[in-house]
Amino acid sequence: MRTLEQLVCPHILKMEAYSSARSEFKGKASVFLDANENTIRTTYNRYPDPLQVNLKNKIQPLLDLKQEQIFLGNGSDEAIDLLLRIFCNPGKDAILILPPTYGMYKVSASLNNVEAIEVPLESNYQPNVGAVLAAQNERTKILFICSPNNPTGNDFELDRIEQLIEGFDGIVVVDEAYIHFSTQASCAKWINKYENLVVLQTFSKAWGMAGIRLGMALANSPIIDVFNKVKPPYNVNVLTQEYALNQLQDLRVFKADIVAILEERSKLRNQLSGLGFVKVIYPSAANFLLLKVDQADLIYEYLVEQGIVIRNRSKVVLCDNCLRITVGTKAENQVLLKFLEAYNSKVVL
Ligand SMILES: *Cc1c(COP(=O)(O)O)cnc(C)c1O
């Protein structure tokens, strides 16, 4: 198996991090004349903490990891991009992705001139461990796994994920954007066991903070150190750090939201299953449902005409005629159902 030094791009290994004004200084001070800030202003005039220490202190107990095992970014999309830049030599290396999957892995790969090699999921939407491991070669540096998977909604079996982490000679990224809606345990518990594992989580979904752009990469400190070296020095702004800290003071809202969303998900599933054009509603461990229908394009267009936007995934591999619907509020789901029932009776007539 390749070591971290063999996996990280040589130019990244060599480079020196930007040394920001505040990170060069050690000790206690009350007068800061080091960063050319406007010192007359008193709010938001200072640069943010580059390593977000206060925020990580709050997050750390929720994850049972050390500070040095946490990277915070401008959404987990920033972490995805940094992973590509850290490990993949442009024009040479490749990543493995398992479609149908989250679109950003391939976009980030294209942006960085890195090939994305696709190994489709099995028809049950589980990763084909043998096929994935057979697809690796010297050029494949990162394997992206998304569990619960977007857009299919299912958990990948933990056994299969672990076989992939053990068998892949490179970095295995498990994107857990939807983990809080799942009954399956997070793979973050394996971080102390596997040097090549990176777990992504986000504040955009269950935490309800998509607007502030905050995501995280969890891994052992040698990997997190490289993240910290290459990230823009002030990648998480003051407003975001403050807001997240505030939200983390009390977890009751977070927990209650999850309960409410799961309850709505189950109601929505029941109601959708009564519609004639709905062929399959796939199991979901996330805050959305994937359904196979008759004529997905027509239903999608019809809903848009009513002012309702869902995600048409029918052009995606293994998702023929599939629509992805986010679980909305009670009221939103009722409106959706009302229109789908009207559509259903029109089709029947
Ligand atoms: C929504 C989502 C994300 C979140 O990205 P952020 O940049 O943190 O908002 C990441 N991965 C998957 C699979 C997602 O569906």
pLDDT single digits (tens) 24-57:
777 888 899 999 999 999 999 999 999 999 999 9
Q: Is the CB of 215 under 6 A from ligand 1?
A: yes
Residues whose CB is less than 8 angstroms from the CB of residue 259 and which lie 6 or more positions away in sequence, other chains included: none
Q: How are beta strands 215-218 and 70-73 bridged, if at all?
A: antiparallel
330-348 and 252-273 helices, crossing angle to 10°? 10
CA 187 / ligand 1 centre spacing (Å): 17
Which pLDDT score is estimated for 20? Answer: 78
221-230 and 76-87 helices, crossing angle to 10°? 100
Mean of the pLDDT values across residues 178-207?
98
State the Cα angle at 322 between 316 and 328, rounded to 5°: 115
* Res 349 pLDDT > 60: no
The encoded tokens of residue 161 equal 């994920």
Query: For residue 339, what are the CA distances in angstroms to 31, 264, 270, 310?
Result: 62, 18, 16, 13
Amino acid letter at 238?
V
Which pLDDT score is estimated for 28? Answer: 85
Residue 226 DSSP class? H
CA 258 / ligand 1 centre spacing (Å): 17
What percentage of the chain reaches a pLDDT higher than 90? 94
Q: Is the CB of 102 under 6 A from ligand 1?
A: yes
Query: For residue 97, what are the CA distances in angstroms to 195, 236, 315?
Result: 20, 28, 17
Which pLDDT score is estimated for 26? Answer: 77
The encoded tokens of residue 4 equal 């971290």
The encoded tokens of residue 299 equal 């239903």
Residue 43 DSSP class? S
The encoded tokens of residue 166 equal 């053990």
Query: For residue 158, what are the CA distances in angstroms to 87, 101, 177, 178, 191?
Result: 25, 17, 16, 15, 14
With contact defined as beta carbons under 8 Å apart, do 238 and 46 qualify? Answer: yes
Mutate which of 74, 98, 101, 150 for ligand 1? The one with the most ligand atoms within 8 Å of its CB, which is 150
* 269-310 confidence digits (pLDDT tens): 999 999 999 999 999 999 999 999 999 999 999 999 999 999
* 84-123 confidence digits (pLDDT tens): 999 999 999 999 999 999 999 999 999 999 999 999 999 9
Contacts of residues 94-97 at CB distance under 8 Å and 24 or more positions apart, as own/partner, are 94/137, 94/139, 94/140, 94/141, 95/140, 95/141, 95/142, 95/143, 95/144, 96/132, 96/135, 96/136, 96/140, 96/142, 96/143, 96/144, 96/168, 97/144
Mean of the pLDDT values across residues 241-246?
98
Q: Is the CB of 204 under 6 A from ligand 1?
A: yes
Mutate which of 106, 144, 154, 175 for ligand 1? The one with the most ligand atoms within 8 Å of its CB, which is 175
Which pLDDT score is estimated for 348? Answer: 61
Which pLDDT score is estimated for 23? Answer: 73
Q: Is the CB of 77 under 6 A from ligand 1?
A: yes
pTM greater than 0.95 (yes/no): yes
H/E element holding 74? none
Atom number of ligand 1 nearest to Cα 214: 8
Q: How are beta strands 215-218 and 278-281 bridged, if at all?
A: unpaired
CA 4 / ligand 1 centre spacing (Å): 25
Q: Is the CB of 303 under 6 A from ligand 1?
A: no
CA 83 / ligand 1 centre spacing (Å): 15
